[in-house]
């Protein structure tokens, strides 16, 4: 079983278009993961059904049991975050869940309640099982949630004897991106030919190098700036990344998304054609290693 994570140094490069298209093009058994949990949108193109829903909890919040509390004030004194009011109520927003009040309360009147920060789903789609999630507003720990989704995807892939796990990763190079690629087999970086796109792609490549993950690179909308595209290809060749191709600007792509379709199923235009040949190259490369 091979795992491919599709990431981008920055948002808006067309990563999800590529992920959804690969999901449609892959005829082998596979598990799809939307690991862009802060802005999940793969489900808008690959529609899930029959979703099994579970809660994702991360961290705890203190809760004072008034029946047990003798109002000694020790918890207020010990809380470094000033999260407990003078009338012994914990402010959920200020509480950091450190557990100090729970430890010090002489009456064992403080419980630490697991906090739900989102939901995650195992869904059926016409491209196979999809594992995805929805963080609550202000929900934290997306890195932990991504880890969880990847583990669940692996279990599902083993159970179904799937050949691939295709992951639509988060943009950027922070904790969510790191969680989505740590220990994976292959990363595909989707970039665009702008200065910021190039700069952020280098940061993503550096992160992959640090984690010793082989990298493939593609440029979306390459014809918007051929010069920067050439520089990106040159950089890929010199930095031991595999340059897999250039996708031309194609206004069928946004139209496909508006129609809830992957570009390769919506259009037979130039962009979709190139995407198909890039997919073949990527899969061939993955299967070599
Ligand atoms: S430490 Fe325990 S008993 Fe004392 S005020 Fe806080 S909750 Fe009440
Ligand atoms: S868990 Fe920590 S932050 Fe929350 S109320 Fe208790 S001491 Fe304060």
Last residue of a domain, one of 97, 116, 135: 116
Question: 33: closest CA among 63, 3, 68?
Answer: 3
Examine the domain organization and report whether 222 and 163 are in the same domain: yes
- 198 with 65, same domain: the answer is no
Q: For residue 70, what are the domain limits?
A: 57-116
- Domain final residue, candidates 71, 92, 116: 116
**DSSP one-letter string for 185-225:** SEEEEEE-SSHHHHHHHHHHHHHHHHTT--EEEEEETGGG-
List phi, psi (to 5°) of 4: -120, 130
Judge if 88 and 150 occupy the same domain: no
Taking 90 as the threshold, does the pLDDT of residue 282 lie above it? yes
**Does position 268 have pLDDT exceeding 80, yes or no?**
no
Q: What's the pLDDT band for 39 if we cut at 50, 70, 90?
A: confident
Whether 139 has a pLDDT exceeding 80, the answer reads no
On the question of pLDDT at 219 being above 80, the answer is: yes
Quote the pLDDT of residue 237: 96
- CA-closest candidate to residue 125, choices 45, 56, 35: 45
* Whether residues 232 and 277 fall in one domain: yes
| Ramachandran region, residue 149 (left: φ > 0; alpha: ψ -120 to 50; beta: rest) | alpha
Tell me which residue has its CA closest to atom 8 in ligand 2: 79
Instruction: Kindly state whether residues 203 and 284 are assigned to the same domain.
Output: yes
For residue 140, pLDDT beyond 90 = no
Neighbours of 17 (CB within 10 A): 25
- What SS3 class is residue 276? helix
What spacing in Å lies between the alpha carbon of 58 and ligand 1's midpoint? 25
My answer on whether 180 and 199 are in the same domain is yes
Shared domain for 188 and 265, answered yes or no, is: yes
CATH number, domain with residue 252: 3.40.50.300
Give pLDDT, residue 206: 96
Residue pLDDT, tens place only, 157-172 = 999 999 999 999 999 9
Question: What is the tally of structural domains in the chain?
Answer: 2
Q: What is the pLDDT of residue 289?
A: 77
Any atom of ligand 1 within 6 Å of the Cβ of 88: yes
Whose Cα sits closest to atom 4 in ligand 1? 72
Nearest atom of ligand 1 to the alpha carbon of 71: 5
* Cα 275 to Cα 277: distance, rounded to the nearest angstrom: 5
Please say which residue of 75, 90, 116 terminates a domain.
116
Q: State residue 260's pLDDT score.
A: 92
Nearest CA to ligand 1 atom 3: 69
């Amino acid at each position: 079983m091979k795992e491919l994570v599709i990431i981008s140094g920055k948002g808006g490069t067309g990563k999800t278009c590529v992920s959804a298209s690969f999901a449609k093009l892959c005829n082998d058994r596979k598990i799809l993961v939307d690991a862009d949990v802060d802005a999940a949108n793969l489900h808008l193109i690959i529609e899930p059904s029959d979703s099994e829903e579970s809660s994702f909890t991360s961290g705890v919040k203190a809760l004072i049991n008034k029946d047990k509390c003798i109002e000694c004030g020790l918890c207020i004194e010990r809380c470094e975050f000033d999260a407990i009011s003078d009338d012994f109520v914990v402010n959920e927003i200020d509480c950091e869940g450190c557990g100090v009040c729970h430890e010090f309360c002489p009456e064992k009147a403080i419980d630490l309640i697991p906090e739900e920060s989102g939901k995650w789903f195992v869904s059926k789609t016409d491209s196979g099982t999809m594992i995805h999630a929805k963080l609550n507003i202000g929900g934290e720990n997306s890195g932990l949630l991504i880890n969880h989704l990847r583990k669940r995807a692996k279990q599902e892939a083993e159970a179904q004897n799937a050949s691939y796990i295709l992951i639509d990763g988060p943009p950027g190079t922070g904790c969510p991106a790191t969680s989505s690629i740590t220990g994976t087999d292959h990363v595909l970086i989707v970039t665009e030919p702008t200065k910021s796109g190039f700069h952020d792609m280098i940061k993503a490549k550096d992160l992959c190098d640090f984690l010793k993950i082989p990298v493939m690179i593609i440029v979306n909308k390459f014809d918007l700036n051929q010069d920067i595209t050439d520089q990106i290809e040159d950089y890929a060749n010199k930095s031991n990344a595999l340059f897999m191709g250039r996708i031309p600007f194609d206004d069928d792509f946004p139209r496909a998304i508006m129609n809830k379709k992957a570009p390769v199923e919506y259009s037979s235009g130039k962009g979709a054609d190139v995407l198909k040949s890039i997919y073949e190259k990527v899969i061939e490369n993955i299967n070599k290693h």
